[in-house]
Structure 1
Amino acid sequence: METLEAVDMTQLIMGSHELSTMINQSREVSEYLEAKRQMEADEEVQRLLVVFEAKKEQYEDVQRFGKYHPDYNHISKEVRELKRNIELRDSVQAFKRAEDALDELLYQVSRTIAHSVSETIKVPSNNPFLEAQGSGCGTGGSCGCSVKKPS
């Protein structure tokens, strides 16, 4: 059996700072920050967001009564249309792509760290497809994974 040396907590923290610096200097972070800046500078997106927030408040009011509120269908449709208009803007789409790329990088880093400890450690992701590719639940349940019981 291989003997493992205990790592000094200071070394571990310094290593994590180095890793965070490398991530912050990555192409993904740079593209994310630039896409965010461009989206925030897009006057039409900002205008639509203000309208959306106001409409969302109206939507929350009619939600209390659900489909029985006389304006439920009308306001629900307006909220969906506004959301779609915002999501179709080039700057918003670029931001979402950059955000997804950064999320993928952070997921891969987290997964590498977690799986270096144990393959059964779950690594959460904002992308359900990435989580499905990850390890099972670790319980030996219906997902098909299994845990070896100590003998």
Structure 2
Amino acid sequence: MLATVESVEIIDYAEELAQAIIESDIGEQYFLSLYKMQADKLAQEKIRKFSKIKELYEEVQRFGKYHPNYREVSLNARQLKRDMDLHPTIAAYKLAETELQNLLDEVSVRVGRAVSQHIKVPTGNPFFDSGSSCSGGCGSGGSCGCS
């Protein structure tokens, strides 16, 4: 693509929009909760424990219920995931992350619809994807039936 003055201006506007999102209340809350989660030693330990069991769980899943430790590893993975998700700083981060994702989805849909009602913006959120035949995020280049 040949860079034109118009394309450079569009990129500049996109960067301004991104900065506005970062500086919004939702963006600031996301970065604050991310910082708090990263600074929380107990939260980081829970994440590390879950990451280790997740690797083991993925190995066990290759064999499914026929693996000798299937039940034990599956139960342990679910317990560690629940323990991690219920930790206050992790829960606050996940909530802020979801709110930021919803804002980004809404902005994407509005930009796409401003160009054309026929533009498909896969958000992965059924609320925003309701006007599209694409359920969002398939990444298969249309082989899933998105049109």
TM norm structure 1: 0.77
Asked if the contact 1:103/1:126 (under 8 Å) is kept, the reply is no
TM norm structure 2: 0.79
Matches within 5 A, 1:1-150: 8-132=6-130, 135-137=131-133
Q: Which stretches in structure 1 are left out of the alignment for 5+ residues?
A: 1-6, 139-146
Residue number in structure 2 paired with 1:143: none
Give aligned pairs, total.
131
SS across alignment from 1:8: helix
Asked if the contact 2:109/2:128 (under 8 Å) is kept, the reply is no
% identical aligned pairs: 38
Asked if the contact 1:120/1:137 (under 8 Å) is kept, the reply is no
- Residue 126 of structure 1 deviates from its aligned partner by 4.1
Q: Which stretches in structure 2 are left out of the alignment for 5+ residues?
A: 135-146
RMSD of aligned C-alpha atoms? 2.0
Structure showing greater radius of gyration is 1
